[in-house]
Amino acid sequence: MYEFIKKLVKSIVPTSFIRKNDKLLRLFVSLSYRGNAYECNICNFTMNKFIVLSNGNKLCPKCGSLPRTRRLWQIIEQEVSGKDILHFSPSKSMRNKIANSNPKNYITTDYEDEFEADKKHDIQAIDEPDSSFDIVICYHVLEHIPDDKKAMGELYRVLKLGGKCYIQTPYKEGEIYENPEITTPEGRLEHFGQSDHLRIYSVPGLKSRLEEVGFRVNVLDFEVLMETRFGLNSSETILEAIRHR
């Protein structure tokens, strides 16, 4: 229902208006969700329930945060203050959260203009100096990139020694699935799960590609057996890629 209404509003109201009045629109939506059973750790809204999307993801009615955003914040919350951060395709909720958490320098970037951001970097040739960032956030980006190996090399280059890149993509079991002959949106949807995805990674496949460009990679696996106050997904994997030399 929520997705239907959102689609309807988007088809009627100009994007610029929605972006400008997003906060007010969400405040209006969130009124009927007020309560104490659940909490968003991004905007601190407490509610009787999350909005449940058709894929099962729980959306915060007030700031629009997704489970993966709330999980990532749990991980980086203590690391953000005083740090140099580069954030690809930032959700609005996380962008505001990080910007308000005292980073030293926080640069947001989005190539497709899908998200509001400061810059429009091509991840295959990031226009930033070497060794510039303590933290890079690269969520649901690499599966869209033609030369992902080059992008990974660029992520490595812009990180400082000891810096971390948090990476997430959709995953499958086994090997990475790629097929350069599949170039149409319909074909990509059928083979890779989304019309603008160029491959489906597997966790071991992505890990080893990252290692090939020099990263040391920790696979962070999260399993939640009970429903959580923060509406996290029951299973989630994040790759923490560290520039260690």
Binding site for Zn ion (CB under 5 A): 40, 42-43, 45, 60, 62-63, 65
Of 62 and 243, the one with the shorter C-beta distance to Zn ion is 62
Place of tokens 């990139």: 145
C-alpha to C-alpha distance for 68 and 157, rounded to whole angstroms: 26
158, with CB counted inside 10 A (0-12, 13-18, 19+), is: buried
C-alpha to C-alpha distance for 86 and 19, rounded to whole angstroms: 22
Of 216 and 229, the one with the shorter C-beta distance to Zn ion is 229
Of 38 and 201, the one with the shorter C-beta distance to Zn ion is 38
C-alpha to C-alpha distance for 82 and 184, rounded to whole angstroms: 44
C-alpha to C-alpha distance for 125 and 244, rounded to whole angstroms: 21
Of 47 and 152, the one with the shorter C-beta distance to Zn ion is 47
Residue 86: half-sphere exposure toward Cβ, Cα within 13 Å: 29
| Shortest distance in whole angstroms from residue 29 CB to Zn ion | 11
| Shortest distance in whole angstroms from residue 108 CB to Zn ion | 18
Q: Copy the structure tokens of residue 17.
A: 């208006």
Check: CB of residue 63 under 8 Å from CB of residue 40: yes
Check: CB of residue 96 under 8 Å from CB of residue 241: no
Of 60 and 210, the one with the shorter C-beta distance to Zn ion is 60
60, with CB counted inside 10 A (0-12, 13-18, 19+), is: buried
| Shortest distance in whole angstroms from residue 173 CB to Zn ion | 32
| Shortest distance in whole angstroms from residue 36 CB to Zn ion | 15
| Shortest distance in whole angstroms from residue 19 CB to Zn ion | 17
Of 43 and 98, the one with the shorter C-beta distance to Zn ion is 43
| Shortest distance in whole angstroms from residue 43 CB to Zn ion | 3
